[in-house]
Structure formats: structure tokens, C-alpha cells
């Protein structure tokens, strides 16, 4: 396969897709614009047309799906193996619309994101996964062989994973624990600020903020040092907080059906899971890292609105897995896509199969990646 770039023909060892003119640089450009820059395929089609290139959005979509099936499935599976070897993982999900994969107008499909623990910075990993629903069987299937701690929000299906998998511990998110209190304060009458400051919700937020701020100051420490400091500084605050919350609930000064009442009951019911971060220096205090990771997808779906098919949604999940992991590993997604799309066809045998043991040199954390794939260091 050959491609003309700036007047120079560049040759590749094998065609990326048989009987197709698509090249690694062309497909990398499409992937970068759609999945990194969050542009819809019809806008990319229009941009091509303005430059005298006729590539339809359907053709681009077909190429993305085909390359995902041929190359990215195995690639992302290798990334998943690495993720499941880590002691701490985090995950979250967001609804998405897939036209051909809904049973009735009100049914929802979901894009799940699984990532390495926030403190695991040596080579962070992100795995996107398309699923038709979000019942407990979805994470149960993904983590069936996992041994470690999963940081999530407080949905009951996540707790079922903890109960059904003997080697899994569920840690809850303190950012979710404070939401009802924050909503109560927002809804309070701002004409009487002294009354707001005396409210149970406001006091709860202040107490949570104290150990949140203390934990933020520990982010630069090692796991062992962070654990020791949490035991010394933060655990007494958390102990005092739960005692205070239980006292407020028992005094019945707050209506149970109010936002503050919901917040108190939530914290009491989730105490076991909210305490987990105190016992392991690798566990973050909240699941905000997962929410940040899924933000790119949420921005993208505002622009392209929906997927037509489950195959398209699954292909997008694989591309997002690679692009988001590349970004976290300080890579430039376009150049990284171009590189792996050049290399992966070379690894195919006569039947088009790839030996997964030969993929490590292509992983986003590989030391052997070309310099052009890496973001320049600031001087």
C-alpha cells in the first residue's frame, strides 16, 4: 500500500484493509478528529468535501468498525489484562443512544468506563465498554477474575459485585456522599445566611471538606506514607463524622424525606464502603477520576447524538479506550493511532490473526514507541 504525503510516496508493508485505499495516516486523522476532538462524522465528511475529497460518513464508519474488529479488539483485550492485574480499579457508566439496540423507546444503553486507580500513574489505563444495560451482571462479567478494590459510586448493583466476588472489595465515592447535603444547602433560603450555616447539611459539608482537604494534601506521597497519614490525620475526622451523623439521625431533628435526611441515611447505609479508602493508600477518596475519564465521551455524544448499531458503539468503545489511555500516558493520539495502524497489519499471519504476546511493544506505556508519538516535554 502506498500513500502520497507532501508529494512523497510512503510505502507500508501490508494493506490496512484489503481492497481499500484507506491508509494509517488517513484513518488516524479520522479517529483523532472524531474521538479526540469530538467531531461528528458528517462534519468530517463536509470538511473533506471542501478540500475536494469524497469520503462519505458511511464509508468512514465502516472502516472504523472493520479496523476495530480486525485490530483493536485484541489490542484492547491486552490492555484489559493489564488493568485487571492492578490492585485498584475504578469504573463508572453513562447512558448512550444506540438506535438499533433498544427494545422500547424508553430503554437505555450504556457506555461503561473502567480505569486504573487514580494513584497508579506509572502507566494509567482506560477501557471503554459498550453494554445494553447496567445491571450487576455487566461489571460482574468484566471483573469475574479480578482480585482487588473497585472504586465506584453507590449503586446497589456495584455492591452485588462485591458480594458475589470473594476477592473484590467495593469502595464508595465521597463526592457522591456529599451531594444530598450540597443540594439541601443550594435549596436553602439565602436571605438568612446564619440559618444556612447552622443547618445540618451545611455542617455535614464542612466536616467532609475538612478530611477532603487533608487528603488532597497527601496526593504526592507514596502509598505507604498516604496510608499512615490517613490513619493519623483523617481517620479521627471520619470517626467523628459518622458519630455525629448517627446522632443527628437519632435526634430526628431532620425530616427523613428531606434532602438532608436522605443524605444522613445514605452516609449511614454506605459507611462500610465509604471507610475503605482509610485502609489502603492506593484507594482514592472519590471516583472523580472515572468521571473525568468519561467526560470526553459525554462531550462527543452531544455532537453526534447517537450510534446507529451496537457494532458501531462497540467500535467507538475500543477507539476511546486507546485514545484516552494514550492521552493519560502523554502520547499524541493522532501519531499513536498512525503508528499502531501501521504496525498491526505487519503482525497478522496468513489468516489475519495476531499473536497477543507480540503486542506489548505497541502498548501506550511501551518504552519503544517512536518519539513522534510522545508529547514534547516542556522546557
In angstroms, rounded to a whole number, what is the distance separating the alpha carbons of residues 374 and 256? 54
CB contact at 8 A, 259 and 180: yes
Q: How many CB atoms are closer than 10 A to CB 325? A: 28
Q: What angle do CA 16, 20, 24 make, to 5 degrees?
A: 35
Confidence class of residue 106 from pLDDT cuts 50, 70 and 90? Answer: low
Which stretches of 148-282 are DSSP H helices? Answer: 156-164, 174-177, 179-187, 193-198, 200-216, 223-229, 235-251, 259-269, 271-274
Confidence class of residue 147 from pLDDT cuts 50, 70 and 90? Answer: very high
Query: Does pLDDT of 6 surpass 70?
Result: no
In angstroms, rounded to a whole number, what is the distance separating the alpha carbons of residues 247 and 254? 11
Average pLDDT over residues 340-357: 90
Span 238-247, pLDDT tens digits: 999 999 999 9
Retrieve residue 95's grid coordinates. Answer: 447512558
Average pLDDT over residues 218-244: 96
Beta bridge partners of 96: 109
Query: Does pLDDT of 272 surpass 80?
Result: yes
- The CA R_g of the chain, rounded to the nearest whole Å, is 24
Q: What angle do CA 302, 308, 309 make, to 5 degrees?
A: 125
Average pLDDT over residues 310-329: 95
For residue 315, the number of C-alpha atoms closer than 13 Å in the C-beta half-sphere is 21
Interhelix angle 179-187/259-269, nearest 10 degrees: 170
Retrieve residue 359's grid coordinates. Answer: 503486542
Please give the pLDDT value at position 158.
Answer: 84
CB contact at 8 A, 135 and 74: no
**Ordered strands of the 126-131 beta sheet:** 126-131, 109-116, 88-96, 148-152, 168-172
Q: Which residue matches cell numbers 468503545?
A: 317
The chain-wide mean pLDDT, for the chain, equals: 89
Confidence class of residue 207 from pLDDT cuts 50, 70 and 90? Answer: very high
Q: How far is CA 120 from CA 114, 281, 326, in A?
A: 13, 11, 15
Q: What is the dihedral of CA 47, 50, 53, 58, to 10 degrees?
A: 40
Kind of pairing between the strands at 2-5 and 88-96 = unpaired
**First-to-last C-alpha distance (Å) of the chain:** 39
Q: What angle do CA 24, 26, 30 make, to 5 degrees?
A: 110
Confidence class of residue 105 from pLDDT cuts 50, 70 and 90? Answer: low
Q: How far is CA 127 from CA 80, 226, 263, 264, 369, in A?
A: 7, 27, 32, 34, 20
Amino acid at each position: 500500500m502506498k500513500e502520497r504525503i507532501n508529494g512523497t510516496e510512503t510505502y507500508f508493508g501490508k494493506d490496512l484493509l484489503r481492497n481499500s485505499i484507506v491508509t494509517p495516516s488517513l484513518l488516524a486523522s479520522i479517529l483523532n478528529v472524531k474521538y479526540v476532538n469530538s467531531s461528528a462524522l458528517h462534519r468530517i465528511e463536509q470538511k473533506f468535501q471542501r478540500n475536494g475529497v469524497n469520503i462519505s460518513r458511511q464509508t468512514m464508519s465502516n472502516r472504523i468498525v472493520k479496523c476495530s474488529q480486525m485490530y483493536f479488539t485484541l489490542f484492547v483485550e491486552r490492555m484489559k489484562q493489564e488493568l485487571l492485574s492492578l490492585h485498584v480499579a475504578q469504573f463508572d457508566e453513562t447512558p448512550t443512544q444506540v438506535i438499533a439496540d433498544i427494545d422500547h423507546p424508553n430503554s437505555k444503553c450504556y457506555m461503561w468506563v473502567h480505569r486504573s486507580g487514580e494513584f497508579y500513574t506509572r502507566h494509567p489505563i482506560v477501557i471503554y465498554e459498550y453494554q445494553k444495560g447496567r445491571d450487576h451482571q455487566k461489571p460482574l462479567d468484566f471483573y469475574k477474575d479480578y482480585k482487588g478494590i473497585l472504586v465506584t459510586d453507590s449503586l446497589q448493583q456495584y455492591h452485588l459485585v462485591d458480594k458475589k466476588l470473594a476477592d473484590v472489595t467495593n469502595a464508595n465515592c465521597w463526592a457522591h456522599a456529599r451531594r444530598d447535603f450540597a443540594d439541601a444547602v443550594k435549596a436553602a433560603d439565602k436571605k438568612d445566611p446564619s440559618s444556612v450555616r447552622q443547618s445540618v447539611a451545611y455542617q455535614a459539608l464542612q466536616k467532609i471538606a475538612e478530611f477532603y482537604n487533608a487528603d488532597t494534601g497527601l496526593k504526592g506521597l507514596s502509598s505507604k506514607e498516604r496510608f499512615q497519614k490517613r490513619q493519623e490525620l483523617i481517620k479521627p475526622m471520619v470517626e467523628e463524622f459518622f458519630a455525629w451523623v448517627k446522632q443527628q439521625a437519632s435526634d430526628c431533628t431532620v425530616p427523613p424525606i428531606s434532602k438532608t435526611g436522605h443524605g444522613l441515611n445514605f452516609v449511614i447505609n454506605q459507611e462500610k464502603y465509604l471507610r475503605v479508602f482509610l485502609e489502603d493508600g492506593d484507594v482514592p477518596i472519590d471516583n472523580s477520576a472515572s468521571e473525568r475519564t468519561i467526560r470526553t465521551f459525554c462531550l462527543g455524544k452531544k455532537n453526534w447524538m447517537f450510534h446507529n448499531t451496537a457494532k458501531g458503539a462497540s467500535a467507538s468503545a475500543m477507539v476511546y479506550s486507546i485514545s484516552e489511555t494514550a492521552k493519560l500516558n502523554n502520547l499524541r493520539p493522532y501519531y499513536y493511532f498512525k503508528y499502531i495502524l501501521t504496525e498491526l497489519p505487519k503482525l497478522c499471519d496468513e489468516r489475519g490473526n495476531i499473536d497477543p504476546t507480540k503486542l506489548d511493544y505497541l502498548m501506550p506505556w511501551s518504552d519503544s514507541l517512536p518519539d513522534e508519538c510522545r508529547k514534547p516535554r516542556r522546557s
